[in-house]
Amino acid sequence: MKLPIHTHLLVEMLRDLNRYRGLVFWTALAVASALVVVFQAHQYRELMAERETLLKARDALDVEWRHLTVEQNALSEHSRIEQLALRQLNMQRPTEAQEVLVPWR
């Protein structure tokens, strides 16, 4: 079945579009502007979600760094190092007779 073409209707539609071309232009511009606003709002929300994720990761790294600093301070205490040297390496403090002074120059 072939549909009849209503040429008179198409001609009238084209005349109306030509007559109201300014209105069509401004309507299309308003719709495009609205779509841009929606797109930018979506991008903003995605960026804020990514920012929150990165801030949480930064906070976790900060906490880990603090723990590592405390651990480093505990492991590098002079008394602990001296005890390890005595127990594991059998090191002793040199006596006065064993001390050697290196001349300056």
Q: Quote the pLDDT of residue 7.
A: 83
Is the model's pTM score more than 0.75?
A: no
Please report, as a single letter, which amino acid is at residue 14. L
Range 12-34 burial, b when 16+ CB lie within 10 A, else e? eeeeeeeeeeeeeeeeeeeeeee
Report mean pLDDT in 10-residue bins for the chain, 105 residues: 75 90 94 98 98 98 96 85 86 87 86
Domain boundaries in the chain? 7-88
